[in-house]
A and B are shown apart, each in its own frame.
Chain A
Amino acid sequence: MADTAAPVRVTDCGCATPFGDAAATHAALLRGERALVPARVLGKEGGDPVPLALIPGRTLDEDAPPGWLPTVRRLAASMPEGDWGSPRRPVFVTGSNFGVGGLYALRRSGDLAFAAWGAPPTCTERLREDLGWGPDVSILSHACVSAHLGLLEASRAVESGLAEEALVLSFDFLSPFVAGGFHALKILNADFPAPYRERPSGAIGLGDGAAFAVLSRGRGEWVLEGQSLFNEMHHFTSNQPDASGFTECLGPVAAAARGRRIWFKGHGTGTLEAGRMEVRAAAQAFPGSPLVGWKGSLGHTLGSCGLVELAIAIESVKAGRTPGTIGDEAPAMGDNVAFSGFANGEFDGVVCASNAFGGAHAAFLLTHA
């Protein structure tokens, strides 16, 4: 029986990025490497070159079964064994796009094989069968805070005693449909992203990413505290101009972190307005805390970013060194932004934050038990 007074902990966590697993990704980020490379935004149909980071061996174009399935299988093989998908070990699958690119491929080709993976329920059901899970699988999607939402729901299941352990799996793999959408908005363009840098125009990159975390009570080295979600409901694509959504979200996390020295892993996609807001809100809520963002190398892994970057944050604490913010040499948006890596042994924890379309904000504090 779980100890219902103990905090929720992460007992296991891992990720898959174009650099490899969490340890390989952390090492590459410390070396300042960039996974993003120029690629045609519509895959084999061409289009403008934009910065994309794909898992090696995968193409942007859709396949059926999807070309990303081997990556998820490899990641699943690194998860602890157990009767996942049973009532006491539920699974929470999160992402922002699932196989939506498959629907676009279906529309263009008429090949019904694409439909099998083209929507969250069908995609998750195929995965459930493929990975041998039971029926207790929930699907959660809330744009780029999807992984945070999965962590929160899994925490509640564990906290309430309903679940002994919970598995959160998050993945987002790029497709011409997804890349084309961001390109139409012009925030995915020819430039490489430089998060938290004052440049004439903003730019993001997009990356493949998948990650998992196992949560339980009273076991594991990593404690999740102050989990916070806040939705401004301001606009599809923009935040309240006064950055109040960032501030509202970070309030409970700052309260949980009071009296402790923390570093801050921000969202930092490379857009200008949101970057400025995040830099300011982080400095106000966590004075003196260095802020880093890793999307200048990995690209934005969309709904999975919260979990992918959690795995890298854990790796950073294990290794005692936090990778800095990768970008270019334009002036910083604030004094709190750390562009060089730093030793993190003197810190008590890390705040991990993500933001999403719709004015959704999410953050939590991660400490070493």
Chain B
Amino acid sequence: MPDPLIPRLKQLIVETLRLEDVTPADIADSEPLLGGGLSLDSIDALELVVRLEKEFGIKIASSEEARSAMASVASLAAYVRERGDPSRLPS
């Protein structure tokens, strides 16, 4: 069964970064977020990290950890599942 967190993260990425001409459905689960087809950069990563921390109550410790978590939507979902506040995660 697909993780409902994945579509929520895709929606959050599109909203937070105000991506034009990109819908949540356009983002593949395994697509690299940084340096991939979405062309997100470190400033985008900063905005996304701030939003993720507020939304899910996670604490990202370093820029390397953020980069690793954002390898793809699937890896980001796994990271948030592991460290997020359970009460804020979709089940």
Contact = CB atoms under 8 A, between A and B. Distances in A.
Interface residues of A, number: 18
A184 B62 contact: no
Contact of B63 (A186, A190, A236): A186
A186 B49 contact: yes
Contacts of B41: 235-238
A201 B82 CA distance: 20
Contacts of B50: 184
A195 to B, nearest CB: 15
Interface string A186-230: 110111000000001111000000000000000000000000000
B43 A186 contact: no
A5 interface: no
A235 B42 contact: yes
Contacts of A200: 64
Interface of B: 41-43, 46, 49-50, 59-66
A200 B67 CA distance: 12
Nearest to B53: A184
Secondary structure at the A interface, as helix, strand, loop or mixed, is: loop
Contact of A237 (B42, B60, B61, B65): B42
Given A185-B63, A190-B61, 4 more contacts: A184-B49, A186-B65, A201-B65, A235-B41
Report which residue of A185, A191, A203, A235 has the largest number of chain B beta carbons within 10 angstroms of its beta carbon: A185
Contact of B62 (A201, A236, A237, A238): A201
Contacts of A149: none
Nearest 9 pairs of A and B residues by beta carbon: A201-B62, A201-B64, A186-B63, A237-B42, A189-B62, A187-B63, A186-B62, A186-B66, A185-B46
A10 B61 CA distance: 42
B14 to A, nearest CB: 21
Interface in A160-201: 184-187, 189-191, 200-201
A16 B47 CA distance: 35
Given A184-B50, A186-B49, A202 B64 contact: yes
Contacts of A201: 61-65
